[in-house]
Amino acid sequence: MSGLELPFFDEEHRAFSAGLERWLAQADVLDDERNADASCRAWVRALAEAGWLRACVPGTFGGVRAELDARTICLAREALAYRSALADFAFAMQGLGSAPIALFGNAELARRYLPNVANGRCVTAFALSEREAGSDVAALATRARRDGDAYVLDGEKTWISNAGIADLYVVFARTGGDGARGLTAFAVDAATAGCSSGKRIETMSPHPLGTLRLEHARVAASRRIGEEGDGFKIAMATLDVFRSTVGAAAVGFARRALDESLEHARSRRLFGAPLAALQLTQAAIATMATDVDASALLVHRAAWMKDVRRGRVSRESAMAKWFATEAAGRVCDRAVQLFGGRGVTRGEVVERLYRDVRALRIYEGANEIQQIVIAKQLLEL
């Protein structure tokens, strides 16, 4: 991937990225959006067998680097999204769904789950959103009531990626009063009595997605992640790491759209010359390429800051996610336009990319939320 030569990355990153691209060039994995659940399972298996899911956990538990490394996750998502939205999804969810345990879980939870996240035996999900609490996380209503050495969880989550195929759900529930300070996180096995996946949600770029019901689900207190009341901060700190990686996926999709457009502009002829000879085509290509590079720079800066500077990178990761996902929308739209009728034809790569990038502007914090995060920090609100 271009940009790797910049000082944001070290030799290990470069080797990781080159190795993943080589592997992807020959990987033969079921990749069928009409069969999204089976495809996601197939990608998790294949990525685990080849060792790539090791990027989702810290070194003690089989990870590629000592600690979760945002740059490695970004490079993986760029390369995977370039090839397949489902490959990117399968990888990203193993990271997002286990990061609260990697970052805040006790030793027993980490030992129990993280090696199995890396070897693909444990498929994970991040169960935060609810019907009335998507952007406004602090309003969530799922309750966790302490009962002896356990908590009893009741509520319904929605828009949960991997609902139905996950083995582990990290569930955020209210243990205290109103607002952000009343939330707590739990590691909930899919097999827990009272925990069931409900309605499946179909989207324009299909992947496993649905609701999660918790009906008197009894969860041992040892499965609490962090302390009571830490849930909101755990969710936000996890999103701080993963928002820049959403930007990275956007870069992967956009780079693919650009490459498809370059190839098409050179080979398609009209008015007696290649499409590339038209200055309006050149303007489109120049705009697309600049959007891709600007996105990559913001993404790589945010990931570098997370890994090297440490601490909160809310503003930088929000900028990366916001800019890169909006830019990918523009790039894929321009690609469709350059392809003309082929661009809106089912089965064409750019038609699929156009659908694949849309949800990125909404999930892991709608782009309007990213703007709030950026402004709040600048205005010290």
Structure tokens at 60: 């003690």
Q: Contacts with ligand COS in 347-366 (CB under 6 A)?
A: 363-365
Q: How many residues bind ligand COS (CB under 6 A)?
A: 23
Q: Helix, strand or coil for residue 205?
A: coil
Nearer Cβ to ligand COS, position 235 or 285? 235
Give me the phi and psi of 181, to 5 degrees please: -75, -5
Nearer Cβ to ligand COS, position 130 or 291? 130
The catalytic residue among 263, 364, 368, 380 is: 364
Give me the phi and psi of 220, to 5 degrees please: -55, 145
* Residue 93 binds to ligand COS (criterion: CB under 6 A): no
* Residue 233 binds to ligand COS (criterion: CB under 6 A): yes
For residue 316, what is the enclosing H or E element? Answer: helix 314-339
Nearest approach in angstroms of CB 63 to ligand COS is: 22
Active site includes 364?
Answer: yes
Query: d(Cα 258, Cα 266) in Å, to the nearest integer?
Result: 12
Q: Contacts with ligand COS in 133-162 (CB under 6 A)?
A: 134-138
Nearer Cβ to ligand COS, position 221 or 308? 308
Which of 17, 129, 192, 197 contacts ligand COS by CB under 6 A? 129
DSSP labels, 331-369: HHHHHHHHHGGGGGSTT-HHHHHHHHTGGGGTSSS-HHH
Which of 128, 246, 284, 335 contacts ligand COS by CB under 6 A? 128
**Would you call 331 exposed, middle or buried from its count of C-beta atoms within 10 A (0-12, 13-18, 19+)?**
buried
Which of 18, 27, 50, 180 contacts ligand COS by CB under 6 A? 180
Query: Left if phi > 0, otherwise alpha if psi is -120 to 50, otherwise beta: which for 226?
Result: left
Task: Provide the 10 A C-beta neighbour count for residue 116.
Answer: 20
Query: d(Cα 119, Cα 9) in Å, to the nearest integer?
Result: 26
Nearest approach in angstroms of CB 294 to ligand COS is: 23
Site string for ligand COS, 19-58 (x = CB under 6 A): ----------------------------------------
197-201, Cβ contacts within 8 angstroms, sequence gap of 24 or more: 197/160, 197/163, 197/164, 198/156, 198/163, 200/163, 200/164, 201/158, 201/159
* Residue 267 binds to ligand COS (criterion: CB under 6 A): no
Structure tokens at 351: 């038609």
Query: d(Cα 99, Cα 118) in Å, to the nearest integer?
Result: 12
Site string for ligand COS, 293-332 (x = CB under 6 A): -------------------x-x------------------
Nearer Cβ to ligand COS, position 44 or 128? 128
Nearer Cβ to ligand COS, position 168 or 275? 168
- Of 170-178, 215-223, 237-245, 279-287, the segment contacting ligand COS by CB under 6 A is 237-245
**Would you call 233 exposed, middle or buried from its count of C-beta atoms within 10 A (0-12, 13-18, 19+)?**
middle
* Residue 238 binds to ligand COS (criterion: CB under 6 A): no
Residues that bind ligand COS (CB under 6 A): 128-129, 134-138, 180-181, 232-233, 236-237, 239-240, 312, 314, 363-365, 369, 372-373
Give me the active site residues, please. Answer: 364
